[in-house]
């Protein structure tokens, strides 16, 4: 069954259809929540809250094919709201060293070398401002496209591209590279 059919069923109140949609991307949702919450328990709480919000607001989704970008936007907004309530910094300041990146990315795994690489990457990213760091992490660690990053961060797509470009330029100037 395709996404549009599952979304239509979910809009009719079918909880199983909604759960099928969510479970097919559960790892991506978790990584995204963990990026913002920095704590596995808080990330899971945010995911649980997201599921409730999606169920309650599924009829607000205008384009059924946009379910995943819409649901990720709901998740990020909820994470930011939770962080505001806890008086934490909203942007991604501290990167959890245990965070495993997108499974499509081969440059970080769970080995000892991986921990060293993660520490190097964390140090490198510390040279960027919060906006650049957030945009680069969403683009390269979560493999999100520019438009989705713009939607998640509530800025124009040109701003996202600029943050990524300027951040990469700053890293290149600081650490060299092609």
> Higher pLDDT residue, 42 or 118?
42
How far is residue 167 from each of residues 64, 123, 131, measured CA to CA in Å? Answer: 34, 14, 9
CATH of the domain at 147: 1.10.10.10
Please give the structure tokens belonging to residue 107: 């440059």
> Higher pLDDT residue, 177 or 169?
169
Task: Note whether 79 and 117 are same-domain residues.
Answer: no
Q: What's the confidence (pLDDT) of residue 101?
A: 43
Per the structure, the complete domain to which residue 156 belongs is given by 109-178
What span, in angstroms and rounded, lies between the C-alpha atoms of 140 and 42? 23
Among 107-116, 130-139, 162-171, the range scoring the smallest mean pLDDT is 107-116
- Answer yes or no: is 102 within a domain: no
Task: Note whether 120 and 80 are same-domain residues.
Answer: no
Task: Note whether 4 and 85 are same-domain residues.
Answer: yes
Average pLDDT, the chain: 81
The answer to whether 63 and 142 have CB atoms below 8 angstroms apart is no
Task: Note whether 167 and 123 are same-domain residues.
Answer: yes
Task: Note whether 9 and 53 are same-domain residues.
Answer: yes
What span, in angstroms and rounded, lies between the C-alpha atoms of 129 and 177? 20
Task: Note whether 117 and 55 are same-domain residues.
Answer: no
Residue 152, pLDDT above cutoff 80: yes
Rg for the chain, CA atoms, rounded: 17
Task: Note whether 63 and 126 are same-domain residues.
Answer: no
Q: What is the pLDDT of residues 12-60, one digit of tens each?
A: 999 999 999 999 999 999 999 998 888 899 999 999 999 999 999 999 9
């Amino acid at each position: 069954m395709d996404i549009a059919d599952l979304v239509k069923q979910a809009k009719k109140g079918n909880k199983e259809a909604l759960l099928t949609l969510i479970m097919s991307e559960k790892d991506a949702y978790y990584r995204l929540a963990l990026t913002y919450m920095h704590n596995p328990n808080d990330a899971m709480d945010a995911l649980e809250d997201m599921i409730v919000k999606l169920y309650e607001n599924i009829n607000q989704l205008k384009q059924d094919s946009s379910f995943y970008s819409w649901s990720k936007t709901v998740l990020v907004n909820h994470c930011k709201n939770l962080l505001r309530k806890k008086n934490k910094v909203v942007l991604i300041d501290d990167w959890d060293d245990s965070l495993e990146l997108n499974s499509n990315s081969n440059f970080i795994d769970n080995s000892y070398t991986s921990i060293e690489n993660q520490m190097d990457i964390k140090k490198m990213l510390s040279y960027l401002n919060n906006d650049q760091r957030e945009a680069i992490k969403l683009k390269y660690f979560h493999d999100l496209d520019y438009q989705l990053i713009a939607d998640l961060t509530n800025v124009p797509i040109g701003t996202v591209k600029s943050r990524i470009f300027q951040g990469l330029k700053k890293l290149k100037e600081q650490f060299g590279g092609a």
